[in-house]
Each structure stands twice: as C-alpha cells, then as structure tokens.
Amino acid sequence: MTVAVKPTADPKAVAVVDELVRRARAAMVVFAEADQARVDEAVTALAWSLYNPGHAKELAELAVADTGLGNVPDKIIKKQRKTFGTLRDLLRVKTVGIVEEDKARGIVKCAKPVGVVCAITPSTNPAATPVNKAMMALKGRNAIVIAASPAGLKTTQRAVDYMRVELKKIGLPEDLVQILPPPASKDMTQALMEAADLVVATGSQDNVRRAYSSGTPAIGVGTGNVPVIIDETADLDEAAQKICASKIFDNATSCSSENSVVILDAVYDQAIAALERAGGYMASAMEKERIERRLWQDGKLSRHLIARDADVLASAFGLPVAAAQKKFFMVEETGVGRNFPFSGEKLALVLAVYRARDFDAAIARVNEIIAHQGRGHSCGLHTKELARARKLAEQVDVVRVLINQAHTFGNGGSFDNGLNFTLSMGCGTWGGNSISENLNYKHFINITHLVTPIREDKPSEEELFGAYWDKYGR
C-alpha cells in the first residue's frame, strides 16, 4: 500500500514518518493472518510488558524522574491496574472474522483493521497510555506508531522497547509497535497524523485540535475538571475518604481527579469536618490568596507546583507546619469562571469547596463549573437517594456520572463498575470530541456488514401515520 503523506510538514520529518509507516504496514501484512487466539496472545504480550512488576517499577521511577509529575508508588499501581483491567476487557471480546450475527435482520458483521494508528500520548501517563492504546490497536490487528510528549519521551521509549521485546518473543513483527524518534517535534507528529489511517490523541487540547484538523479520521479527549456533590443523605466519612483517595492519587495528575466539591448547606460543616478527618486542610481566606498567587503564574498553572507532594506544596504556599502533615488542601470558593481560578482544573492537591442551599442549587453549580471547564467529561454524587442520581444525569451534559465512587479509580473503568478500562475518556460533542464514551477496542476496528434478504418488514401507512392523522388530519 502506498504511503501518502500530505506535503504540509517538514520534508525531513515526512521522510522519517514515511519509513515508519512503511514498516508498520509491512508488519500488518504479517499480522493480518492472525486468528483470534493469536491476536489475544499479542495483546497479552503487550500487557505483560508493563504489568511485569520489575518493568512497572522501573517505568514509574523513570516517569517521575523524566517529567517531575506524580509519585512512584501510585504510578506503579496505575500501570498494573489499568493494564490488568484493559486486558480483562479485551480478552472478553472478539475482533477477528465474524463478530456478530443478527439472523432476524439478516446481518452478519465482520471486523477488519482500521490501519496504522497514530497515538499521541501525554506526559502525565508516559508509559501507561502508550501501552493501553497499543493493546487496543493490536486487538484490531492494527499497527501503532506513538508520538510521545517531549516531557515523557524517555519513559515512553522504554515502554515501547519492552513492548517490542515481547512481540519478538512470541514471533510477531516488532514493528507492530513503533515510536517517533527523538527529538520529539510538532513537525514529526504532524507528518505522522497525516500519514496514519487513524489518530487517537490524549493530552493537551492543542494536540486534540491538531488531530481533528489533520485530515485523518481522529479521536480526541476533552479537558477534565470534575465536580462532585455531597448531599445530606451521604455517608460523610465514606464520601470524604473516597474523595481524598481519588484526589491524592498520583498527586492529582489524572483528568478524573476531583477538582471541586459542592456540599449541601444542611451538612456543610459536618462534611468539611469529615474531609478534614480524611486528610484535608482547610485554608483560611489569607492562605487561599497566597495559594492562588503561587499556584498560578502569569495566569498559568506553575509547572513547578502541579502534581507535587503535599509537603512540597505546603512549603511553597507558606502554610503552617500542621498543613504539611495533611494530604490535600481545601479552599472555599463562591464563584466560577476566569476570575475564579480555583473553579478550573488544578492538576494539584488543591480542592475547591462550594456550598449549595439544596440539591437543585448544587446541580446548577455543577453546570456552571463544567460550562467553564470540563464540559462533557464527568461529575459525581455521594448520596443514599439514588433517584437523585438519575436527576443529575438528566440535567448535566457529561458523559460519565459516578455515584458513591472515587472518581480517579472509577471514571476510566473499575472492577466494581461497568465502564471499560481506559486512559482516554471521550467527552462527546460537549467537549469537542467524536466519541461520548471511554476509548475502547470498538474504536480500532472497521465493520463490514454482510446483508442478506429477510422477510419484508414494511408496515402499513395507518400504522405509521394513523396517530398523526387522528390528531392533525391528513
């Protein structure tokens, strides 16, 4: 198959990409003959390349050293948990040959590869996301070329090396998984996006927009800024513990980390006390001002403070010794928008707290927050009144509404909810995305529909128009 790279990128970058894509397509020719068992073996090989305890630890340490973001213990957990869960999901589905047959409708569905996948990956997950996407890509018998974030390039390169080693071990072409060579550049990524058959972009919204404008079919993800409601029926200590565990995981690098908590007035003081028992520190008004000045520099989050340990932040914010012993920091907020930076995504161990007079006011506040940032992504509710869960889902434009769950552990799939495991969360058209679900294997296959004749299914005019005629006339 001829590689067609549009002449919009640097010629040197085009030449490098042309060779990578040629090798990817050659590897796909070999992989095209694989049956389902062989495909699943390949997916398992990629999973083991990261799940392997030694590799998970090494890559976690390298990621923190490489990017300065997050912490090693949580990155190990994330790598193994996400990989294990994704492997579970992938081994339960079929992607080779006939994958569905509907005899009543006379339709048989056959799965086919989408082609060479360009995967743009972020610095926040420089090993987990590349492996997660590679597993899904190979499940569809595709090849993948990864465009890594410059900040996480060393880690991603090592992860790719481990994946290639496992592919070689089982006798499959290593070029099913490749990475753009250093130095990482926008020209190289642009050339790859234009040469690939599918672009899957996780990371900055600039990358997502460039993916959608590349001329190649693309899937992107939206910005996170999760607000969570605590109502008067919630188990306050349980809710606080879940919010704490989720907020502090990997130092709040996840797009699913809670950024705001909206507490109903009836239990506001009790909920704050529960959050403090769980490890939160409530900043005073003066401390809030100081946190804002130091967390944002020239209107942007400080690269030196995002995703840092709590004691580092406490020192940087000039908080008392007692705060340094806490796990995260809370600030009371009353507004939303550009003039209220705490209402946005913080990528730090800082949680905005809002008070709402009742549940309707809480929903209104959540809608304000996600309209400002995070539209389409997700929100949550801690409650014992499950009827409220449906009301929230009906009234808020997000893809995921999590009930009584720690967002970071549930949003991208969990062993105790029905979402599929992923590291890329689609946010629908609300978030400027083409998918309104978690990225999964279905996005990496094409479907051929075999259509055979069935008994005629044609209703009468009366059946279709009767009610309308009765009401409005002919």
As annotated, the active-site residues are 255
Distance CA 220, CA 361 (A): 32
Q: Which residues contact 453 (CB under 8 A, 6 or more apart)?
A: 106
Q: Cis check for the bond before 183: say yes or no (omega within 30 of 0).
A: yes
Q: Give the C-alpha separation, 319 to 265, whole Å.
A: 27
Q: How far from chain centre, in Å, is Cα 220?
A: 10
Question: Is residue 322 classed exposed, middle or buried when 0-12, 13-18 and 19+ CB atoms within 10 A define those classes?
Answer: exposed
Q: Please return the burial class of 171, using the count of CB atoms within 10 Å of its CB with bins 0-12, 13-18 and 19+.
A: exposed
The torsion region of residue 458 among left (phi > 0), alpha (psi -120 to 50) and beta comes to: beta
Q: Over the range 122-138, which residues count as b (16 or more CB within 10 Å of their CB) and which as e?
A: bbbbbbbbbbbbbbbbb
Q: Are strands 218-220 and 258-264 parallel, antiparallel or unpaired?
A: unpaired
468 Cβ partners below 8 Å, 6+ apart?
none
To which residue do tokens 């996301």 refer?
Answer: 129
DSSP state of 442: G
Tokens of 316: 């940087």
What's the DSSP call for residue 375?
A: T
CA dist., res. 81 & res. 72, Å (int): 14
